[in-house]
Structure 1
Amino acid sequence: MRIDIITVLPELLKSPFEASILKRAIEKDLVEVHLHNLRDYTTGNYKQVDDYQFGGGAGMVMMIEPIDKCISQLKSEREYDEVIYMTPDGKTLNQGMANEISMKKNIIVLCGHYKGVDQRVRDMFVTREISIGDYVLSGGELAAAILCDAVIRLLPGVLNDETSALTDTFQDNLLAPPVYTRPAEYKGMEVPKILLSGNFPKIEKWREQQALERTQERRPDLLEK
């Protein structure tokens, strides 16, 4: 999988890909992540990427020309399955969406800034608009990092135990059941005896029931789906 991220703040995005699972995935050639500084596609001494919005109003708007140049350059080199724009008014990211995107080969992720991008960018290039929640960030970089983390961990070979992702919260619209590790007893609190029984069919049944009960209690809306 190849992910090309277009941003005005590439330095903000470097650290998530230099540690932990994302770093290992890149080093194992399971994914390529390339950062593209939008200012490299501008002209003039000021490397301007934004301008005042037509019709007046507070806030600057990201200009269409440098974005067009960047995306067009990338598209001239390879085919892309998706051009994703990170924006508060996009569809909220969920596990099903991450699963779907993880099946793609090449994607572009465009990070918004200021008051967003010129609408013509969205009309011309964007195939999917994603939000990470009903709030506004200073830019789309942190949202892009979250999207990449959610997607990359699903790629075959990224996790040491590939079945781990299949039992994550939100898979099958259920929250994950409670989990325990050593010691079996701590300050009077004991691990449920079923987990120590070695009876794996019964353990799986217990986990399914716990997942269902936890979902009913905390996120009943998921069961409606």
Structure 2
Amino acid sequence: MKRVIFIIVSFVIFITFCLTLGSLELKKTYTDFKEDISFEKTQKFNLNGILKIDSTVVNPKILADKTTLVQFSFNGCTPCRKAKDRFPKLLNQTGKNFQIITISIDKFDFWKPLNENKNIKRWTRLNIGNSNLIKSLKIIGYPTYFVLNENGEIISRPSHFSGIKAIRNYFKIKPNILDLFIEHIRNLLDSNRLFNYVFMYTFLYLILFGVIILLRLLIKKRWVTKYKNNA
């Protein structure tokens, strides 16, 4: 029974160790991010035509005195949803001078009843309404991100998968090992690679375990032979 417990515990420790090593690779995502070439920098972000959930227009003052991450998305966009799942964590890592605005390009009547329209502080959900931002900002893929300064001016256009990375870099957020570990697990789950990952390292564990057992037997045999010769 003790051997079984030892094997199980050692296996869990081994897998955890491998996952931890893999999670350390994510550390660079807190400092590096890709940015699309943008001609909109220093341009004011125009909210004309953008609608709130109550069908009213948006007050431009919403962009004042805060750094803002804007995400253009639509219902059914998997990368958009995965990023939104990580937004609460990002908000917890930043201060009151940061906010997130997500702008859905879905038809207003379709978008309004969606479950994503929940009340979370410093995260505002809006609808594209009659705005011409998609055309004027040349948005052709989703999610599309923009980072705005405290004056509502565009200061960065991160690539499609670098919105969160850009904010981490901007605010110089330093991750702890637990954050990296959890994010690594989520990335594996999102990409359906967790099973393959565990299978690969289980196979490696069995090889290492077999090698250790073999070495132990050889050492034991050598000591037994040496003892008999001395006797």
TM-score (norm 1): 0.24
More helix by share: 2
More strand by share: 1
Instruction: Say which one has the larger Rg.
Output: 2
Higher relative contact order (CA 8 A, sep 6+): 2
